[in-house]
Structure 1
Amino acid sequence: MTGKTGKVLVTYGTTNGSTAQIAEAIAEVLRKDGLTVEALPARSVTSVSPYDAVVVGGGLYAGRWHKDARRFVRRHHRGLAERPLWLFSSGPLDASAAERDIPPVPGVRKAMTELDANEHVTFGGCLEEGAKGWVARMILRSGKGGDFRDFTQIETWAGRIAGESTARET
């Protein structure tokens, strides 16, 4: 990357849209810091070669990253290994992600190691009425849903990425 003209991909795997909203919030912070950013669903990305850095996020389901995020990392493994990479997860349906650092699930930890990712963070999740899927409906029926995303935490993390991305140039 040169200067603040670097192009960053923020990509994500989501089922009900809350991880997409986190990705959009990250992309907005990076844009405000002068970076060129595209936020795209992981399944729609055909190549990472146009990007100087990549942020990949996935919702957590039963201890695994969203299948689109997992497939993206597998499909673009070589390209991701050649550029700065940050990973995030969204999922806990309680305040735990705001209270402490939650380590990545095993599959994400493996990807971090193999790809030498800069950082991973787990943000709180969101599951609200109208969510797709039998398990989601059961969780909601049991009263365990809600929005546990902390956008201040998300924007702070994105600001660190922006700082690291622009610092690489100097």
Structure 2
Amino acid sequence: MTGKVLVTYGTTNGSTAEIAEAVAGVLTKDGIPAETAPAGTVKDITAYDAVLVGGGLYGGRWHRDARRFVRRNRRALAERPVWFFSSGPLDPSASEKDIPPVPAVRRAMDNVDARGHVTFGGRLEEGAKGRIAKMIVRNGKGGDFRDFTEIEAWAEQVAGQLEGGGGAGEGGAGEGKTL
């Protein structure tokens, strides 16, 4: 693949943006030009040959900007390779087991024929926006549960598929983790 890849995301407190930056960094290091942008700011995806869409999970729902991005670009996304990622569990569960996409993300994946999805741990720390987020932190349930080694390994799998044109089958960056 010689074209650019967009890694776009919906985030409230910046955790998913940092994951997107890490993913784009791996792709770029592997010789695949990649750019990141908040999902709410992307107006046109025709310049990109592939798209990765990430969203923070809040109360079992993908971030509003990620959902709207997919709806707005549904036709164009269906014409190129697409992967989804979520971030959110505030415990080590995302590193311990495969966490399937929430139902709305599963439907969005089906609508654009996404090649795969993965859920990474989230981060919620002091200074978080939102009443519920502040309460979670105040009650000692926050922290940083992202595993950047795992994130980078997933990005390598996506890069391999982009370079080789392979599908999301066994050993790919398809559903779940194959690390």
Q: TM-score, normalised by structure 1?
A: 0.96
Query: Counterparts in 2 of 1:22-41, with a 5 A limit?
Result: 22-41=19-38
Shift of 1:50: 0.5
Question: Does 1:52 pair with 2:49?
Answer: yes
Shift of the alpha carbon at 1:6?
1.8
Paired residue for 1:80, among 77, 81, 87? Answer: 77
1:64 aligns to 2:61 (yes or no):
yes
**For 1:129-168, what aligned pairs fall within 5 Å after superposition?**
129-168=126-165
1:110 is matched with 107
1:26-81 superposed Cα distances (whole Å, 9 cap, x missing partner):
00000001011110000110111110000000000000000000000000000000
Question: Whole-Å Cα distance in 1 between the matches of residues 45 and 74 of structure 2?
Answer: 10
Matches within 5 A, 1:118-129: 118-129=115-126
Q: CA deviation at 1:107?
A: 0.5
> Matched residues in 2 for 1:29 and 1:51: separation?
17
Return structure 1 stretches of 4+ with deviation > 4 angstroms: none
The one-letter amino acid paired with 1:159 is E
- SS of the counterpart of 1:79? helix
How far residue 113 of structure 1 moved from its aligned partner, in angstroms, is: 1.1
The alpha carbon displacement at 1:108 in A equals 0.3
Q: What is the percent sequence identity of the aligned residues?
A: 69
Amino acid at match of 1:119: G
| RMSD across aligned positions (CA) | 0.9
In 2, distance between residues paired with 1:166 and 1:76?
24
Q: Which amino acid aligns with 1:141?
A: R
- Total equivalences in the alignment: 166
Specify the SS of the correspondent of 1:52. Answer: strand
Q: CA deviation at 1:142?
A: 1.1
Q: Which ranges of structure 2 fall in alignment gaps of 5 or more residues?
A: 167-179
Instruction: Measure how far apart 1:90 and its partner are.
Output: 0.1
